[in-house]
Structure 1
């Protein structure tokens, strides 16, 4: 099995950031920290004009929070620290002055939906069904909720958050604003992503940076908001209900 990683490479103004974990691209604390740092670094890099965010593997973009770490949380401080990892990634994406293109090749669950929602323009395949499964284990999509709501609206976000057992189709995600395009194959999607990124890399970076600020207007309080939400998740993960549920899943 391949070890977890976050890689970053820049070619002709396009920085591709890729994350991977053998457990269906789940996101433990170290991967979250490296991902947030890679996004921040790319945002400061003068050679970078546009960012592509992707994950490794074939049919899963991201399985969300690391189950192993969820089970290991023993107190509120550990809970806050873990869920703050998602807050840091989303805030790094929000504050990055470069457009971030999402490349979603497969199923996306929980925190992974939040990561996809925090991209500025997102491509997907017909296999990229989405699910907010947090309620199943007794918590909720508190940290990623603002990012998901920003793309899907309150109605769409609440629908998938409450119906936590169901995968919603990529077409539903496209119709509700999460995905810009859905392709039949990964190859078709990758060709479209590269072509789109190449075009963006030729545009005025100052104009794109100003546009990004405009698109994210109203989210300036997220540094505080998402940490407050992480405290809620960190408290709920310690509840008797969640602990017992996690034991059953384990």
Structure 2
């Protein structure tokens, strides 16, 4: 079905694996297109509640973008590459109606870290190394790194990581809020699936609106959206089931 991806469904969880271990799962335009298509398929499948993104092997989640692809670009081509990539994949991940969890198994550098940051949650293996090395190439992050990193770790630490191009360990990433949890390499995917199953038991209608509301948390309209969504959910079936289950002292069946 896909050339550079593996797409597996485990119950109500979709696991999408970037499968280019020889290049440490580097991103190029083709991989970005396939990821976009796979995410659309998972988002449209009513049986799937949560999506996990990971990389094949134990060395890398995504070690970065394929530099050879854009080495000879001019400014117009570079802008088009960044804009198309953000619209097709990175912004798409952030705004999906289903939660996306990055299972970061190894290096997450440049575009790889930007992909992980566009996900709603990030779980890392103990051997993970994360960073934005673009300034060593005379560039800056182009897939949302300068925008999402400050939102996650604060402006000061974001500047520190971007200006220095320093890689940080999984433990340091956890300390600064860049990743949510850290697990041993051999249990990372199982633990991520286990957490995804917790999410899958909850209301998909409520979660979809929670994603949209949280994504507006840095804007003036965030509070208004929260209020509107809170009200809208009172008219939907998941709220009826959730409240009934609570009053009847049973687990809800969403």
TM-score, L = length of structure 1: 0.80
Partner of 1:99: 99
1:123/1:180 contact within 8 Å kept: yes
1:29-48 to 2 correspondences below 5 Å: 29-48=29-48
Q: SS state of the match for residue 182, structure 1?
A: strand
- Highest RCO, 1 vs 2 (Cα 8 Å, sep ≥ 6): 1
TM-score, L = length of structure 2: 0.78
Partner of 1:207: 206
Partner Cα distance (2:95, 2:161) in 1: 26
Partner Cα distance (2:9, 2:108) in 1: 26
Displacement of 1:8 in angstroms is: 2.2
Partner Cα distance (1:201, 1:20) in 2: 25
Partner of 2:159: 158
Considering only CA atoms, is the larger Rg found in Structure 1 or Structure 2?
A: 2
Over the aligned positions, Cα root-mean-square deviation in angstroms equals: 1.9
1:58-207 to 2 correspondences below 5 Å: 58-73=58-73, 75-87=74-86, 88-144=88-144, 145-164=146-165, 166-183=166-183, 185-207=184-206
Q: 1:79 to 1:4 in 2, by over 3 A?
A: farther
1:196-235 to 2 correspondences below 5 Å: 196-217=195-216
Partner Cα distance (1:31, 1:84) in 2: 16
Displacement of 1:70 in angstroms is: 2.1
1:26/1:65 contact within 8 Å kept: yes
1:124/1:182 contact within 8 Å kept: yes
Unmatched 5+ stretches in structure 2? 220-254
Partner of 2:232: none
Q: SS state of the match for residue 140, structure 2?
A: coil
Partner Cα distance (1:54, 1:142) in 2: 21
Q: Deviations over 1:44-95 (max 9, x none)?
A: 221111111111121111111102102242x334323322343131111122
36-45 or 187-196: bigger deviation: 36-45
Partner of 1:224: none
185-194 or 124-133: bigger deviation: 185-194
Displacement of 1:9 in angstroms is: 2.6
1:129/1:167 contact within 8 Å kept: yes
Unmatched 5+ stretches in structure 1? 221-250
User: Would you say how many aligned residue pairs link Structure 1 and Structure 2?
Assistant: 215
Partner of 1:231: none
Structure 1 stretches of 4+ with a deviation exceeding 3 A read none
Partner Cα distance (1:138, 1:5) in 2: 29
Q: SS state of the match for residue 97, structure 2?
A: coil
Q: SS state of the match for residue 178, structure 2?
A: coil
